[in-house]
Amino acid sequence: MAVQKPSIPKGTRDFKPTEMAGRNYIFNTIRSVFEVFGYLPIETPAIENLTTLTGKYGEEGDKLLFKILNSGNFLDGISPVADPQLPIPGYRELTPLISEKGLRYDLTVPFARFVVQHQNELIFPFKRYQIQPVWRADRPQKGRYREFFQCDVDVVGSASLLYEVELIQIIDEVFSRFGIETTTLFNNRKILAGIAEAIGSPQSLTDITVAIDKLDKVGLEKVCQELKERGLNDLAIRALQPVLLMEGTISDKIETLEGLLKNSETGKKGIEELKHLCSLLKEMKLRNKWNFDVRLARGLNYYTGTIIEVKANDIAMGSICGGGRYDDLTGIFGLPGVSGVGISFGADRIYDVMAELNRFPETIQQPTTVLFANFGPEEERFALQVLAEVRKEGIPSEIYPDASKLKKQLEYASRKQIPFVALIGKDEIESGMVAVKDMNTGGQSLMGREEFISRLKNKS
């Protein structure tokens, strides 16, 4: 058989030990912040029933779902070309027949499913965190992978704005610990809905949000042009101008919106929530910036209230954290009227930002503390005993597998950044001492076992 070139699917990556050190540092930090705020972990399967996933992320989202072909003969019982009289079904019709499972696209929808399924066993408000990979059949590019980790915190079973505040505090704490300066932008879907109402086309909420989301990128003119293409009339577009051009402090913006939305109940509710949130946040003394931004839209269509997005200040990268409130995500699974709010940290993007900004602490690598050199079968037996003692003390240690030249053994230690090498040869066995070489200074000294171990303990 011809050897095949080893490869992994597009948009996926292998992680070497040095990279894992950074990744674990990120996961551990985020996890410990989540726990400080009283969230508990759950996990859900990588694969879900396709019916759980489809239709939750909009039409675009459905296209990005990885679907799993049914096991066995997935064509059993369906034969689209057997009868030439019948029309050949499109992939939309065919997909559910040959695939009934898919890889999860995010952690929020599986969580909603989880909550409904276990509703009688959970304590509400239910606060959970979840750190697991998700998959999207997207085309890879900067900061975009087909397999990546999300770190979600959500709370369901309460509509309290206290949780919005809590999530923004979590964001602040996480990025402070990472040393990344961020800006947390938020908006409220109810305000966007109110705007759509106010300009007389409530049905074009999505079109409006998608278009104005691009304002920073493409400018006012193109946004208006796009709105026109999406079917908005000139009057509506003109009515939208004050929103698009809105500047100044949060209270300035709120004032503008109050004028515009005075006839929209939904809009007024949104403004009220916004004001409440801002007044709470003002008292929190956060270290990172935050701001209200009407132009923030977010495409995920299950959001109904506050929406949140976080960007790193010093680097061009998509959002590194995002989320919002969803009033009825559990409704589709048969549990209506349960409000939830949550955010998701993009661990892989955070890694990229940390790497580029050089924010990883030096101490995250945990290399072996001591290597026992190998001088042959006799010495090996003796070294093994000392090694066991050292390991009993919890000191990461290893022995070189064969009696290669010392040069080679030391080089191995040097490359693995192992700070100490224990040399136990015939002389040492006789005297009961250990020769310890300090790889940083190059110096070497003889010591008894107890001193040896306490020396390693202090250094490790």
Partner RNA sequence: GUGGUCGUAGCUCAGCCGGUUAGAGCGUCAGAUUGUGGAUCUGAAGGUCGUGGGUUCGAUCCCCAUCUUCCACCCCA
Q: Where do contacts with RNA occur on this chain (CB under 7 A)? A: 5, 7, 9-11, 58, 60-61, 63-64, 106, 136, 138-146, 148, 150, 210, 213-214, 217, 297-300, 309-310, 318-322, 344, 346, 348-349, 375, 405-408, 410-411, 413-415, 423, 425-428, 435, 437, 439-442, 444
The Cα–Cα gap between 131 and 379 comes to 46
**Beta carbon nearer to RNA, 100 or 138:** 138
**Shortest distance, position 375 Cβ to RNA, whole Å:** 6
Cβ neighbours of residue 423 under 8 Å, at least 6 residues apart?
373, 375, 406, 434, 435, 436, 437, 444
**Beta carbon nearer to RNA, 213 or 389:** 213
Give the three-state DSSP class for 138.
Answer: coil
Residue of 202, 184, 185 lying closest to 193 (CA atoms): 202
**Beta carbon nearer to RNA, 144 or 269:** 144
**Shortest distance, position 201 Cβ to RNA, whole Å:** 17
**Beta carbon nearer to RNA, 222 or 282:** 222
**Shortest distance, position 265 Cβ to RNA, whole Å:** 26
- Are 445 and 395 in contact by the 8 Å Cβ rule? The answer is no
- Are 359 and 176 in contact by the 8 Å Cβ rule? The answer is no
The Cα–Cα gap between 243 and 264 comes to 15
**Shortest distance, position 37 Cβ to RNA, whole Å:** 19
**Beta carbon nearer to RNA, 11 or 80:** 11
Give the three-state DSSP class for 145.
Answer: coil
**Beta carbon nearer to RNA, 77 or 443:** 443
Distances (CA, A) of 270 to 81, 250, 266: 53, 14, 6
**Shortest distance, position 94 Cβ to RNA, whole Å:** 15
**Shortest distance, position 439 Cβ to RNA, whole Å:** 4
Residue with tokens 């939750």: 56
Cβ neighbours of residue 441 under 8 Å, at least 6 residues apart?
none
Give the three-state DSSP class for 405.
Answer: coil
**Beta carbon nearer to RNA, 260 or 294:** 294
Whether residue 125 is preceded by a cis peptide bond, meaning omega within 30 degrees of 0, is: yes
**Shortest distance, position 268 Cβ to RNA, whole Å:** 26
**Shortest distance, position 251 Cβ to RNA, whole Å:** 28
Give the three-state DSSP class for 309.
Answer: strand
Between strands 126-135 and 40-41, the pairing is: parallel
Q: To 10 degrees, what angle do helices 189-198 and 250-260 make? A: 40
The Cα–Cα gap between 323 and 308 comes to 5
Residue with tokens 């009825």: 328
**Shortest distance, position 170 Cβ to RNA, whole Å:** 14
Residue 335 per-residue DSSP state: -
Other CB atoms within a 10 A radius of the CB of residue 431 amount to 11
**Beta carbon nearer to RNA, 389 or 438:** 438
**Shortest distance, position 143 Cβ to RNA, whole Å:** 6
**Beta carbon nearer to RNA, 321 or 341:** 321
**Beta carbon nearer to RNA, 182 or 201:** 182
Between strands 420-423 and 370-372, the pairing is: parallel
Please name the helix (run of DSSP H) or strand (run of DSSP E) that holds residue 326, with its range, or none. strand 321-326
